[in-house]
Amino acid sequence: MHKLTIMIVIFCFLLLSGCGQEELAEEDLVDGRETVGEQRAEEVEAGNFPLFWDGEEERQFYTLPELEEEVKELLGDNYWPEVNLSAAELERLTGITEDMYVDFLAERQMLDAHIDTMIIIHAKEDYVGTIEQAIETYRSGLIEQNKNYPQNLSKARASRIETINDYICFVQLGADTTPLADRGNEAVMAHCLEENEKALYVLEQAILQ
């Protein structure tokens, strides 16, 4: 009986010792996870990564001659305007006066029979709508003036006006449309419209960048 009692006591002691080891092992496991977590948190601090972005790049603003060069570079030999208009000539053609804009660039072909034209006007804020309307009236006049000249009429009808921020752009391009004449007016218009869209695309990219 005495031996049985001793064995029971020893068994209970061993059992209690085993439970303590299990609890300690569990505590060590939890502590280990926290330590790894803390270490990983330290590893991912911003200071441990290379700095890829150091602020926004300074925006580049194009001058009007630079905008013109962008269009010329894109269209190459298909850009035909060659004569710069003065402020007085712009006013005579469109009614747009110097008090309405910050700056302008207007080019057309030398001969009146050839009508490729590009106008870019940096409008004063209060005159954006006024200049848009003046250019629309100018465009309508060109269509009317060329109604007896099929190729020029198609080119005038394909002309585009687009306002990009406070820049009003008028493009009436297309260069030589003679090879398309036998395919009809719609083919000429489609070609000119494509050239105008190219010009407006590069202007928009430059102004908004």
- Least confident span in 60-64, 94-98, 125-129: 60-64
Strands of the chain, DSSP E:
83-84, 101-108, 117-123, 160-164, 167-172
Residues 75-121: tens digit of each pLDDT = 999 999 999 999 999 999 999 999 999 999 999 999 888 999 999 99
Does residue 103 sit in helix, strand or coil?
strand
What pLDDT is attached to residue 181? 86
pLDDT value for 194: 96
Give every CB contact of residue 164 below 8 A, 6+ residues apart in sequence.
203, 204, 207, 208
pLDDT tens sequence across 14-33: 444 444 444 444 443 333 33
Name the residue among 137, 62, 130 with its Cα closest to residue 94. Answer: 137
CA 102 to chain centre: 23
Arithmetic mean of pLDDT, 59-84: 92
